[in-house]
Amino acid sequence: WLPSQLFYFWERPLFRRANQLYKRGKALEMDDLLPLPHFDLGDVIGPHFEDAWKEREHLTPVKQQQPQKLDHLGDSEVSTRRLSWSLFQVMGSRFIIAGFIKMINSSLQFCFPILLNNILKF
């Protein structure tokens, strides 16, 4: 199981299929792709995102009849903050965990040449 995960053996049939279709001038179809985990399906994430979006509804300003100053927070900034917050509510914990894993990976990649240099100097 572990070597398959490390070396992407589990994706080889998909790569072969893509190569065969490419030679015929075609592309992969949705049926060729691996199925998503249940928690990544739109039917599951959609309602959570809608709830998070409605929670932040108070951030969206009511349109005023008078023109606003340029230094005032624009609608696009408010919508961006609302979208960012909603996405974080729905998928934030998974991205934080992935970020920690990436930080550990990058640290190890950075430290390995230093360690190797110290071993060779010894």
Determine the Cα–Cα distance for residues 113 and 101; give it in Å rounded to an integer: 20
Q: Quick one: tokens of 29?
A: 């179809």
Band (70; pLDDT cuts 50, 70, 90):
very low
User: Which pLDDT score is estimated for 107?
Assistant: 92
Choose between 9 and 45: higher pLDDT. 45
For the chain, what is the mean pLDDT? 82
Q: Which of 20-24, 76-80, 95-99 has the lowest mean pLDDT?
A: 76-80
| 101 in Cβ contact with 83 (< 8 Å) | no
| 36 in Cβ contact with 42 (< 8 Å) | no
Q: 51, 33, 48: which is closest to 94 by C-alpha?
A: 48
